[in-house]
Amino acid sequence: MLFLVPSFSSFSMRQVQELAITLSLSTISMVLLVMTLLLGSSSIWRDIERRHTASILTLPISRDSYLLAKFLSIAIFIVLAGVVLAAAAAVMISLAATQYPSDLPLAWGNIVLAIGADVLKYLLLSAVAVFFSAVSTSFYLPFFATLVVYLAGSASQEVFEYVSGQFAQQIDPAQVAVIKGVYYLLPNFSAFDFKVHAVYALQVSSQAFLFPLCYAIVYGGIVLGAAVWVFNRRELP
Amino acid sequence: MIRRGIFATFLLVYGFLVLPFADFMADRPLEVKLGYLPHPQLLKILSADHDLIVAQSAVVKVLFYYGTIVGHFMENVIIRPEHANMYRTLQTATQLDPYNMDAYYFAQAAFTWQLERIDEVNTLLEHGAKYRTWDPWINFYLGFNHAYFLKDYGRAAVYLQRAGELAPENALFSRLAARYYYESDQTKTGLAFLEAMIAEAKDGAVKQTYTVRRDALLAVFALERAQASFVAKVGRQPKSLDELLQTGFLQRIPKDPYGGKFYLDENYRVRSTSKLAGDNL
């Protein structure tokens, strides 16, 4: 980020500050995605493969606590990474804003909100990764399944709105129903995207923030609950 | 030993290959460099939460492409730009990020003066004005396009008044709005706009485009002023620009920066054989 933001921001003709914020937020999102995929996808199944679970679960620790503690360790790492990346972003954005002042004010509150929402999104995704890791015996299933869920969850809102509009008249109602069913099943990551608000200093309603927060807690709870349920029924060597 | 030999051979071949490869990449047709973007809706789905950065990279791609063509133009090498593809790319960028000012700014710079695709640019700007509700410049561009190109002074005044209201500290908007309300002189209006654009321009290629256009309009303005003095004194229109020279109303006929020659048309309007347009710029 330290090299990317100053060198690429100057490509903009009229919105250097805005581009610096965009680059910083996109970099943070990309780094957190890679961390989530790698950490989440290599958690439970690897412990089973290396027989760590065999020794740990002989201690007075339930499988529930083990899995939740595993998730918590990943969550703490993601939050800390988010804080460090946010600090670096703040420095780069301040520098860009000082060099090329914009007509728009720097909405620090929105920037913090955008990064916070991103962290929340990747916590939710790491819960999904832990779920796949709990049912898997190799790296590939949790990694690629989590990646697919991430891509589908990021696109689901667009697709839902598309099939809810005029386009729905051209396709089979059964297909529309399936798409809508998948939409409710998948995590909706679009709700955590506050980048445009951060970049262009747009107003954010409290509802726009509280809804995704509650959604992440409830959806994350369900996914972790399912992961615990699956892990409790898994035969361990 | 054999493995080292194979590795060394690959390194050697790479050494021979890398420079011709770099030349080949640099000499690719400009059309290939601009490339093609999928439908904005599909791109929005594919770009996940990185739609803003995808939009900006599309604008930068167009800017680099155009910059290369301007560079060739300055060396008298004429390459016809892919305007339709450039416009489509900018349109896609504004669908992904409707707030992106670079896209609107570039469309205004590259598609109005010579191409005169005013309606398309205005459509793009109207889209931007819906989102950038704080921005006086989009209204300024819209106002100017309506006045200078479409001669619709009434709508131009409305846009410029809106720009003036959004940026009361900038007297230019209000001044132009007033001028348009009274349908004032077009050449002067064009000059005022270009001076503002040159002062704001950061990109070299864009600034160069505006500067050449400003110099052309300055030449036209000097000729029109001499013509007006002739009419005021003599009571009729001059037969040609040479008559202005012979009667002392004009010291010399200014040079057309686009390479043409100025003359008076049958309606006594100052024209140039270049039509005040560089090839495609």
* Type and span of the H or E element at B192: helix B186-200
Q: Which residues of A touch B105 (CB under 8 A)?
A: 13-14
Q: Which residues of B touch A155 (CB under 8 A)?
A: 45-46, 48
The 10s digit of each residue's pLDDT in B126-175 is 999 999 999 999 999 999 999 889 888 878 878 888 887 788 777 677 66
User: Does residue B18 lie in a domain region?
Assistant: yes
Residue-number span of the structural domain to which B194 is assigned = 187-281
Q: Do B101 and A30 touch (CB under 8 A)?
A: no
Q: Which two tokens stand for residue B274?
A: 């270049």
Helix axis angle, A173-185 relative to A140-164, nearest 10°?
A: 130
User: Does residue B159 lie in a domain region?
Assistant: yes
**Residues B78, B16 within the same domain:** no
The ranges assigned to domains in chain A are 4-135+193-232
- CA-nearest of B99, B81, B172 to A14 is B99
Could you give the CA distance from residue B108 to residue B106 in angstroms, rounded to a whole number? 5
Domain boundary among B116, B148, B163: B116
Q: Give the pLDDT score at B131.
A: 95
Mean pLDDT by 10 residues, chain A (237 residues): 72 83 94 95 87 84 92 96 95 88 89 96 97 91 95 90 79 87 93 93 89 94 95 84
How many structural domains are present in chain B? 4
> What is the ipTM for the molecules in this complex?
0.78
User: Does residue B121 lie in a domain region?
Assistant: no
**Bridge partner list, B263:** B271
The 10s digit of each residue's pLDDT in B16-46 is 999 988 888 777 766 666 677 788 888 888 8
Q: Which of B42, B56, B197, B203 to mutate to test the interface with A (most CBs of A within 10 A)?
A: B56
3-state SS of A162-229 is HHHCHHHHHCCHHHHHHHHHHHHHCCCHHHHCCHHHHHCCCCCCHHHHHHHHHHHHHHHHHHHHHHHH
**Residues B138, B205 within the same domain:** no
- CA-nearest of B66, B143, B52 to B100 is B52
Q: Do B202 and A23 touch (CB under 8 A)?
A: no
Other Cβ atoms less than 10 A from the Cβ of B206: the count is 24
**Residues B161, B213 within the same domain:** no
**Residues B179, B192 within the same domain:** no
